[in-house]
């Protein structure tokens, strides 16, 4: 199916989820996750009206950036190795996976502007998931005060791999609660207005729980 057709279906589902939650659908930004697809498919997504692309590897981002450049807003959504910061820092608009001070330090050192960062939180407590615990979020953000180029725009999580809607919902709800506690700090460098949560299998629940950015790969650009 063409991306433009898939996008229409996804947008309908976003609209319905937003309506159920009493939210405006235009508060929710779609990030098309293109990590599994070709550059041509990513170009097709941009031409279909997608403004934001997500990649989880520096190679993938660099290859697509070469063709698409600033026609898209770029999101780095994967675990970021400290030594890879240098190769993507001038291209990324958002980093969704800040989870340690050493990474903040490297981003701060390599960037020549403020970089929008999401703190990645392991809101489900699953062993295998990356990210800091909900309890660590406030102290971690406080520890970033001296890094001038780090701007904490929000929190990000990946829900566990399950069909159980209540588990998914409670995970997203926990992230929304964390966001409130960060906002209560009123830190200029951490307005924390965004929630990056929801993927192909769970984005509607994420929207019902307050997602402002959904990261959708398979359901939007997958080539089935």
The residues binding ligand PLP (CB under 6 A) are: 33, 35, 56, 77-78, 158, 199-201, 215-219
CB closer to ligand PLP out of 56 and 111:
56
Q: Please provide residue 100's backbone torsions phi and psi, each rounded to the nearest 5 degrees.
A: -160, 155
CB of 21 to ligand PLP, least distance (A): 20
CB closer to ligand PLP out of 92 and 112:
92
CB of 218 to ligand PLP, least distance (A): 4
CB of 221 to ligand PLP, least distance (A): 8
CB closer to ligand PLP out of 11 and 200:
200
Q: What letters, b where the CB count within 10 A reaches 16 and e where it falls short, cover 87-110?
A: ebbebbebbbbbbeeebbbbbbeb
CB of 197 to ligand PLP, least distance (A): 9
CB closer to ligand PLP out of 150 and 216:
216
CB of 141 to ligand PLP, least distance (A): 20
CB of 56 to ligand PLP, least distance (A): 5
Between CA 122 and CA 119 the distance in angstroms is: 10
| Helix orientation angle between 39-47 and 58-68, rounded to the nearest 10 degrees | 50
Q: Please provide residue 22's backbone torsions phi and psi, each rounded to the nearest 5 degrees.
A: 65, 35
CB closer to ligand PLP out of 73 and 187:
73
CB closer to ligand PLP out of 78 and 210:
78
Question: Could you tell me which residues come within 8 angstroms of residue 172 by beta carbon, excluding any fewer than 6 positions away?
Answer: 123, 157, 159, 195, 197, 198, 202, 205, 206, 209, 210, 211
Bridge pairing between strands 52-55 and 213-216: unpaired
Q: Which two three-digit tokens encode residue 27?
A: 């508060």
Is residue 129 within 8 Å of 160, Cβ to Cβ? Answer: yes
Please name the helix (run of DSSP H) or strand (run of DSSP E) that holds residue 94, with its range, or none: strand 94-98
């Amino acid at each position: 199916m063409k991306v433009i057709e898939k996008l229409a279906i996804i947008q309908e589902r976003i609209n319905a989820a937003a309506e159920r939650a009493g939210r405006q659908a235009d508060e929710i930004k779609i990030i098309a996750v293109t990590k599994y697809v070709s550059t041509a498919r990513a170009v097709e997504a941009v031409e279909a009206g997608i403004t934001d692309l997500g990649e989880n590897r520096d190679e993938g981002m660099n290859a697509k950036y070469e063709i698409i450049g600033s026609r898209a807003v770029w999101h780095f959504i994967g675990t970021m190795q400290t030594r890879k910061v240098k190769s993507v820092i001038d291209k990324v608009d958002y980093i969704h996976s800040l989870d340690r001070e050493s990474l903040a330090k490297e981003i701060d050192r390599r960037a020549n502007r403020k970089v929008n960062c999401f703190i990645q939180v392991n809101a489900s407590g699953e062993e295998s998931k990356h990210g800091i615990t909900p309890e660590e979020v406030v102290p971690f953000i406080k520890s970033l005060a001296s890094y001038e180029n780090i701007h904490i725009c929000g929190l990000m999580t990946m829900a566990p791999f399950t069909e159980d809607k209540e588990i998914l919902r409670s995970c997203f709800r926990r992230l929304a609660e964390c966001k409130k506690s960060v906002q209560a700090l009123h830190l200029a460098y951490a307005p924390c207005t965004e929630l990056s949560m929801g993927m192909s299998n769970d984005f509607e629940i994420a929207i019902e729980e307050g997602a402002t950015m959904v990261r959708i790969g398979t359901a939007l650009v997958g080539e089935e």
